[in-house]
């Protein structure tokens, strides 16, 4: 196997790659719903101002969704992993949803749900709760007219405009009352987006949870599930045990997903995760093992991916998308390491070097020669010969 010289905190050191793992393959239905929040692929050759413009390589972006569907995973489209509200605007998100829904028709049984939020409404002192409602309604109606299912995203505008938990209850009751199909509610924590600090009207997560649970209980027939992204398994389990019958908990915990998906005597979590984008082959294999009742193999496959995920999602967590795209480049899913908004610059060469080692440990470099060649190119741009 090829060897590469990588930076470490104490200097340069040789690292010999391992053979990639061969994961079990199976087709759904799996014992858990598994949605991968997929990234978008930038167009590196487009004429643009990279911090200001959004130029997407649509063919490669859609090809990656087909890769996820081929492994039996569903796609959570136009979410924060796709740099929604962080480079990808509502106009681009509509195009992304439309193209993905069209591509899904070629994959019988494929599953997809798409983010509806308020990101076309800039938060500000003059924005009212009624403005937030109208913005949510516009995006929900657009996605449903395209034939899509909805993931109801957290709203920066609502976090700014709300004065109490009652404002959240009013907004969500109105939106849930108008949707055609049950939605997934996404509670995105402030570690992913600082503008969402104090969501649900309280800075204490357990107090905020009471409001979220009240919203869900009041419209349970319109809620397929809730995804909480707080990176705290105890909070997720506490909420999971209080959900109404038939409402799923979709783990958004990129630190503890394996044990949350496996579950305990009182229940389990399904999954909607950004980390499923780079570790998709392992996820498919793990779910195949779980479908066969082999919990030991399930954990054996996912355990090596957890250190990788914790590294990718380390603080500042909002920069995790850089690691996701870096992995797609190393694995050969795209020909470049360029991101919408120039976000490839948000992590250090030390971070990328450790990510490379952890990806190899997890068996997730399908072509080590290609991965090493690309890593060497990145190292050269950072002055590592």
CA 117 to chain centre: 15
CB burial of residue 52 (10 Å; 0-12, 13-18, 19+): exposed
Residue 88 in domain: yes
> What is the rounded end-to-end Cα distance, in angstroms, of the chain?
20
- The CATH code of the domain that includes 98 is 3.20.20.70
Q: pLDDT tens, 147-203?
A: 999 999 999 999 999 999 999 999 999 999 999 999 999 999 999 999 999 999 999
User: In the structure, what pLDDT confidence band is assigned to residue 25 with cuts at 50, 70 and 90?
Assistant: confident
Residue 203 in domain: yes
Residue 225 in domain: yes
Residue 369 in domain: no
Residue 4 in domain: no
- Provide Rg for the chain, Cα atoms: 20
Q: Is 28 a residue whose pLDDT tops 90?
A: no
Q: pLDDT tens, 59-91?
A: 999 999 999 999 999 999 999 999 999 999 999
What is the count of structural domains for the chain? 1
Residue 352 in domain: no
Residue 363, helix vs strand vs coil = coil
Q: pLDDT tens, 197-244?
A: 999 999 999 999 999 999 999 999 999 999 999 999 999 999 999 999
Q: Given this model, what pLDDT does residue 48 score?
A: 87
Contact 163, 198 (CB under 8 A): no
Kind of pairing, strands 3-8 and 11-16?
antiparallel
Q: Is 131 a residue whose pLDDT tops 90?
A: yes
User: In the structure, what pLDDT confidence band is assigned to residue 53 with cuts at 50, 70 and 90?
Assistant: confident
Angstrom distance (rounded) from CA 365 to CA 356: 9
User: In the structure, what pLDDT confidence band is assigned to residue 105 with cuts at 50, 70 and 90?
Assistant: very high
User: In the structure, what pLDDT confidence band is assigned to residue 310 with cuts at 50, 70 and 90?
Assistant: very high
Q: Given this model, what pLDDT does residue 344 score?
A: 95
CA distances from 370 to 13, 335, 378 (A): 20, 11, 13
Q: pLDDT tens, 107-130?
A: 999 999 999 999 999 999 999 999
* Dihedral pair phi/psi, residue 112, rounded to 5°: -155, 140
Task: Compute the Cα dihedral for 155, 157, 160, 164 and give only its sign.
Answer: negative
Angstrom distance (rounded) from CA 157 to CA 211: 18
Q: Given this model, what pLDDT does residue 282 score?
A: 96
Residue 347 in domain: no
Q: At what angle do helices 305-312 and 295-302 cross, to 10 degrees?
A: 40
**Of the candidates 381, 274, 280, the residue with the CA atom closest to the CA atom of residue 322:** 274
Q: Mean pLDDT for the chain?
A: 96
Task: Compute the Cα dihedral for 308, 311, 314, 319 and give only its sign.
Answer: negative
Q: According to DSSP H, which parts of the chain are helical?
A: 58-70, 90-104, 129-145, 156-161, 165-178, 205-218, 233-240, 257-262, 280-291, 295-302, 305-312, 320-330, 349-361, 368-381
Question: What value does the mean pLDDT take over residues 337-351?
Answer: 96
Q: Given this model, what pLDDT does residue 39 score?
A: 98
Contact 64, 320 (CB under 8 A): no
Question: What value does the mean pLDDT take over residues 341-352?
Answer: 96
Contact 313, 232 (CB under 8 A): no
Largest CA distance in the chain: 60
Contact 140, 175 (CB under 8 A): yes
Residue 74, helix vs strand vs coil = strand
Q: Given this model, what pLDDT does residue 385 score?
A: 73
Q: Given this model, what pLDDT does residue 26 score?
A: 76
Q: pLDDT tens, 264-292?
A: 999 999 999 999 999 999 999 999 999 99
Q: Given this model, what pLDDT does residue 361 score?
A: 97
Angstrom distance (rounded) from CA 253 to CA 230: 7
Angstrom distance (rounded) from CA 344 to CA 182: 36
Residue 157 in domain: yes
Angstrom distance (rounded) from CA 186 to CA 222: 14
Give the domain range for residue 136. Answer: 30-325
């Amino acid at each position: 196997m090829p060897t590469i010289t990588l930076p470490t905190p104490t200097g340069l050191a040789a690292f010999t790659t391992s053979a990639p793992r061969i994961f079990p393959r199976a087709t759904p239905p799996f014992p858990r719903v598994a949605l991968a929040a997929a990234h978008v692929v930038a167009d590196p050759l487009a004429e643009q101002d990279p911090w200001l413009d959004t130029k997407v390589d649509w063919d490669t972006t859609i090809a990656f969704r087909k890769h996820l569907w081929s492994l039996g995973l569903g796609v959570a489209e136009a979410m924060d992993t796709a740099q929604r509200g962080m480079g990808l605007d509502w106009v681009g998100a509509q195009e992304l949803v439309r193209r993905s829904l069209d591509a899904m028709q070629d994959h019988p049984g494929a599953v997809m749900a798409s983010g509806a939020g308020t990101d076309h409404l800039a938060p500000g002192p003059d924005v009212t709760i009624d403005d937030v409602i109208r913005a949510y309604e516009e995006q929900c109606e657009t996605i449903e007219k395209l034939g899509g299912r909805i993931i109801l995203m957290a709203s920066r505008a609502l976090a700014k405009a709300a004065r109490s938990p009652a404002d959240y209850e009013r907004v969500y009751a109105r939106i849930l009352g108008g949707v055609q199909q049950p939605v997934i509610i996404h509670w995105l924590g402030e570690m992913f987006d600082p503008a969402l600090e104090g969501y649900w009207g309280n800075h204490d997560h357990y107090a905020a949870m009471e409001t979220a649970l009240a919203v869900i209980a009041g419209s349970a027939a319109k809620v397929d599930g809730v995804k909480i992204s707080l990176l705290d398994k105890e909070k997720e389990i506490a909420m999971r045990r209080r959900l109404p019958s038939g409402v799923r908990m979709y783990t958004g915990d990129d630190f503890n997903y394996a044990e949350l998906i496996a579950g305990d005597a009182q229940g389990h979590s399904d999954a909607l995760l950004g980390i499923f984008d780079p570790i998709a082959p392992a996820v498919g294999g793990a779910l195949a093992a779980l479908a066969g009742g082999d919990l030991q193999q399930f954990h054996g496959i996912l355990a090596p991916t957890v250190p990788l995920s914790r590294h990718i999602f380390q603080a500042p967590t909002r920069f995790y998308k850089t690691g996701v795209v870096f992995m797609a480049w190393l694995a050969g899913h795209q020909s470049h390491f360029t991101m919408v908004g120039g976000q490839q610059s948000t992590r250090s060469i030390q971070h990328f070097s450790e990510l490379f080692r952890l990806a190899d440990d997890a068996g997730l470099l399908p072509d080590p020669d290609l991965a090493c060649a690309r890593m060497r190119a990145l190292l050269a741009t950072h002055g590592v010969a």
